């Protein structure tokens, strides 16, 4: 039953694919990696009550599960290819499973991401996805290549998803217009796949922002052996967030997480090319700091910088 539900809802994108040699139905999937490409993959796990509220809409859960995992491919400049699904559920509920599959397909099909296998078991609701993508071996963008003097950029807007958490959990009641905006920002993050693929030739280091900019940028700094200065006054935030929470907007933008935008570093001479790429895609892209030899300084900000804690 579970196999039938997911095959009917998610498998359409496998039709006619030359790189898929064997999909769902055997002990393993078999992939033929296209010539001149390397395979990159990433895994994310979402746990009910930890990463999403109890009794959340399964369509929302499915979409967000794919989006958060695919965002890692964007950070490497990779093109999505396949994913596998590890699903632990308290009971077999065909209607709930159909909703989950619908939400996954809502994002997976347009970006060419096909389900090729997985596993199911009984237990507390836990969803694990492993996504696979292709990128030229020499163009995969890593965290470890930031250089002193690089500019630091972020795509999109920061802070909205974190602000949405009390709305999503039902702890806070807001107007219908505000609810719709922030609810969508939490459940429907937009993995920046196209811009990631476009930027891979001009940036030095890149990663997605899942745990908050202040925390995630430090992964780049540690991997690259450098420091940074961030100007909190430059953080890109929505008018909706600044109007609703003017006192908290900066801390949400710096530490909130869940926006799944890209943070990247690039040499100053690439500024014009970066602007051309992002403007062509109608995607906001903001310089927020600069890579330094050492240290980590956030200007125009005196609050805490702790982001999401997994434990």
Which residues contribute to the annotated binding site for Mg(2+)?
A: 27, 42, 44, 72, 119, 208, 211
> Which residues are within 8 A (CB) of 306 and not within 5 positions of it... i.e. 6 or more apart?
214, 215, 255
CA distance 162 to 175: 18
- Binding residues for substrate are 51, 258, 308
CA distance 202 to 141: 10
Residues 179 and 274 sit within 8 Å (Cβ to Cβ): no
Angle at 254 between CA 70 and CA 235, to 5 degrees: 95
- Binding residues are 27, 42, 44, 51, 72, 118-119, 143, 208, 210-211, 258, 308
- Binding residues for ATP are 118-119, 143, 210
What sign results for the dihedral spanned by CA atoms 92, 97, 98, 99? Answer: positive
CA distance 128 to 126: 7
| CB-based burial, 110-135: b 16+ in 10 Å, e otherwise | ebebbbbbbeeeeeebbbbbbbbbbb
Closest to 108 measured CA to CA, from 51, 209, 168, 193: 193
């Amino acid at each position: 039953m579970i196999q039938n539900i997911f095959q009917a809802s998610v498998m359409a994108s496998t039709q006619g694919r030359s790189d898929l040699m064997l999909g769902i139905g055997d002990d393993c999937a078999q992939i033929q990696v296209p010539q001149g490409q390397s395979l990159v993959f990433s895994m994310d796990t979402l746990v009910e009550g930890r990463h999403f509220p109890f009794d959340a809409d399964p369509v929302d859960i499915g979409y967000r599960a794919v989006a958060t995992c695919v965002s890692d491919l964007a950070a490497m400049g990779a093109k999505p290819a396949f994913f596998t699904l590890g699903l632990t559920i308290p009971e077999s509920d065909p209607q709930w499973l159909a909703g989950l599959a619908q939400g996954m397909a809502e994002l997976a099909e347009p970006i060419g991401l096909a389900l090729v296998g997985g596993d199911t078991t009984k237990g507390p609701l836990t969803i694990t996805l492993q996504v696979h993508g292709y990128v030229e071996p020499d163009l995969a963008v890593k965290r470890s290549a930031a250089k002193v003097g690089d500019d630091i950029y972020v795509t999109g807007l920061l802070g909205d998803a974190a602000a949405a958490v009390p709305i999503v959990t039902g702890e806070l009641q807001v107007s219908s217009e505000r609810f719709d905006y922030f609810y969508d920002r939490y459940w429907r993050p937009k993995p920046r796949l196209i811009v990631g693929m476009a930027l891979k030739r001009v940036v030095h280091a890149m990663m997605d922002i899942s745990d908050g900019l202040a925390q995630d940028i430090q992964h780049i700094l540690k991997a690259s052996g450098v420091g940074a200065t961030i100007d909190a006054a430059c953080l890109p935030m929505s008018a909706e967030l600044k109007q609703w929470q003017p006192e908290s907007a900066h801390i949400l933008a710096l530490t909130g997480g869940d926006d799944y935008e890209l943070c990247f570093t690039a040499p100053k001479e690439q500024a014009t090319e970066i602007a051309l790429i992002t403007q062509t895609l109608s995607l906001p892209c903001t310089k927020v700091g600069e890579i330094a030899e050492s240290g980590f300084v956030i200007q125009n900000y005196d609050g805490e910088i702790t982001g999401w804690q997994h434990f």
